[in-house]
Amino acid sequence: MNIKLEIQKMAKEIGISKIGFTTADDFDYLEKSLRLGIEEGRTTGFEHKNIEERIYPKLSLESAKTIISIAVAYPHKLPQQPQKTEFKRGKITPNSWGLDYHYVLQDKLKRLAKGIEKLTENFEYKGMVDTGALVDTAVAKRAGIGFIGKNGLVISKEYGSYMYLGELITNLEIEPDQEVDYGCGDCRRCLDACPTSCLIGDGTMNARRCLSFQTQDKGMMDMEFRKKIKTVIYGCDICQISCPYNRGIDNPLASDIDPELAMPELLPFLELTNKSFKETFGMIAGSWRGKNILQRNAIIALANLHDRNAIVKLMEIIDKNNNPIHTATAIWALGEIVKKPDEAMLDYMRGLSPKDEHSQAEWELVCAKWQI
């Protein structure tokens, strides 16, 4: 029996788009860049904390010999558009369409592992998605899934960069695959397209400047990034949109997609309670940051759309003052939407008594803008 061939067949039946095999040798070449990213403050803080565990697979599975890397492709175009309504919509980026990819990958990894158990005795393994220890992109590159582009994403000819990645660290002895023989060449479209210049050009980035991180970070969003997120309330895929490898691809669904969740109505989104948010959005990847951060982003999106229908809701958020970040962001948003305030709006702004430093700062900026 050719176990590698059998695993490849099984992967296809499970719905795994690409599968590759590599040794469980160390990824010690990553150590310098991983440590440098931390020292220079370029990491998000969401990464696995133990660097040794990130580069030494045997710390996760002592008997490790082969790592099986999997990729599940997902679409970057909605299968259907949401209904037209009176409300303006925001955007959630494609990696968070449909069922949370952690669940998608974990299910496929479990099914693959159970299938392998039937093929061989004494099978030992450890499954990982991006919340695990290993650097998924490094594993996928060495296993021949694709190359790591200048945007830091794994890119394949078949599926572009729109792939979810995961791996099984195993005690199997399987012939490793070769790395792909293509790459970015001298193309720099992603570098030129990135609105925050967060890409360094060697496959690494200043992750804290990435708009995807900005939509997930807590607190006030820095002024520099607010207009740059446009109407996106979770994620960013500008570097993917600009990539030539993503042109003309039509990836299959990784799970069912509800277009109403992929492009949510912004004003109704601000009405969501914790309970209704979890019930409606709880199964998408973007929900992990919770309602409050995404609602802050929705306020910014309404400002970027100059949606005058949002004015009453923004004033309600300010008056209730239940969430200082929402309050301060709503004050800024009013200043963006209302270009020529009437006397009633000027009186409203004069009558505000900000209760915290963020609201005070945004109030002062709007007052200066409106020459109050």
Phi-psi region of 219 (alpha: psi -120 to 50; beta: other; left: phi over 0): left
pLDDT of res. 333: 98
Is 130 among the residues known to form the active site? yes
Q: What is the pLDDT of residue 103?
A: 97
Q: How confident is the model at residue 131 (pLDDT cuts 50, 70, 90)?
A: confident
Average pLDDT value for residue range 4-16:
98
Catalytic-labelled residue, pool 130, 136, 217, 307: 130
The two tokens of residue 335 are 């200043």
What is the 3 state secondary structure string of 120-166?
CCCCCEEEECCCCCCCHHHHHHHCCCCEECCCCCEEECCCECCEEEE
Give 224-247 pLDDT, tens digit per residue: 999 999 999 999 999 999 999 999
The reply to whether the predicted model has a pTM over 0.85 is: yes
Helix (H) or strand (E) holding 360: helix 357-369
Q: Copy the structure tokens of residue 224.
A: 């520099």
**154-155 and 18-23: which strand pairing?**
unpaired
Residues 31-77 have pLDDT tens digits of: 999 999 999 999 998 889 999 999 999 999 999 999 999 999 999 99
Q: What is the mean pLDDT of residues 156-180?
A: 98
**By the 8 A CB rule, do 369 and 335 touch?**
yes
CB atoms within 10 A of CB 29: 9
pLDDT of residue 221: 98
- What digits encode the pLDDT tens for the residues 358-367? 999 999 999 9
The stretch 173-192 carries a mean pLDDT of 98
Mean pLDDT for all residues in the chain: 97
Per cent of the chain over pLDDT 70 is 100
The band of 29, judged by pLDDT with boundaries at 50, 70 and 90, is very high
Averaged pLDDT for residues 326-340: 97
Cβ contacts of 349 within 8 Å, gap of 6 or more: 334, 341, 363, 366, 367, 370, 372
pLDDT band at 251; cut points 50, 70, 90? very high
Bridge partners of 261, per DSSP, are: none
